[in-house]
Amino acid sequence: MKFSLRIFLIFIAWRLCPAVQLLPNMGYFIVVQQFECVVNEQFITKASCDVVTPRNRSINAELVLLQPFKALGGSVKVSIPKKRVFTQIFDITFELCKVLRERKRKALIDILHSLANMGNKNIHCPLHQGHYKVQNVTIADSLPPLLTESPFLLHFTWFLPRVATVMNVTVLGHLYDISREHNRKKKYF
């Protein structure tokens, strides 16, 4: 609990202080080892989730919504390994339209807007049926610079409240610190 609170406070400080974001050689990149999407075919068809090779640092996703959604919930769970078992450090559940309308969860809004800007349609409520696509998406640019290098497991779920799960996304990857990576390269070159 203490570790997840520390991560949360660091993330909030990172988002609220633009001067911190200007520090040189700070930041991260993510190498994605596995990216899977499982959809409920009652709501979504033609879903694909792919890692962009050869560097595996970004992802492509595409789907077709079969019907509009007036209310859509989301859940994000992040786990890191601890003694060979993944331990959950972050768990948040939200209602998409409420987050977009009230703008209280800045981190979620930033991620949603970055996905919308990289995609072929804007995210707004209600969500309209049709084809949605994002290409070369990476979230490492929006991470605070005080996290530690680590493997991670991310579970992201879209659901209709009290009705059904619409889509499950699982990402297995590794978070690397850019400054440490530069030092490793200097050591060998």
- Secondary structure of the chain in the HEC alphabet? CHHHHHHHHHHHHHHHCCCHHHCCCCCEEEEEEEEEEEECCCCEEEEEEEECCCCCCCEEEEEEECCCECCCEEEEEEEEEECCEEEEEEEEEEEHHHHHHHCCCHHHHHHHHHHHHHECCCCCCCECCEEEEEEEECCHHHCCCCCCCEEEEEEEEEEECCCEEEEEEEEEEEEEEHHHHHHHHHHHC
Q: Answer whether residue 141 is part of any domain.
A: yes
What confidence score (pLDDT) does residue 65 get?
A: 93
* Total domains present in the chain: 1
Least confident of 54-63, 78-87, 121-130: 121-130
Domain that holds residue 53: 2-11+31-188
Per-residue pLDDT at 28 exceeds 90: no
CA dihedral sign, ordered 111, 117, 119, 124: positive
CATH value at residue 173:
2.70.220
Average pLDDT, the chain: 76
13 has a pLDDT exceeding 50 = no
Which pLDDT belongs to residue 25?
44
Q: Is 54 within the bounds of a domain?
A: yes
pLDDT of residue 95: 86
When mean pLDDT is compared over 14-23, 108-117, 118-127, the highest value belongs to 118-127
**Cα torsion angle, 51, 55, 58, 60, sign:** negative
Q: Report in angstroms the alpha-carbon separations of 112 from 5, 7, 12, 75, 99.
A: 23, 20, 17, 13, 10
Q: Is residue 26 part of a domain?
A: no
Residue at 21 is within a domain? no
**Residue 25 domain-assigned (yes or no):** no
16 occurs within a structural domain: no
pLDDT score of 85 more than 50: yes
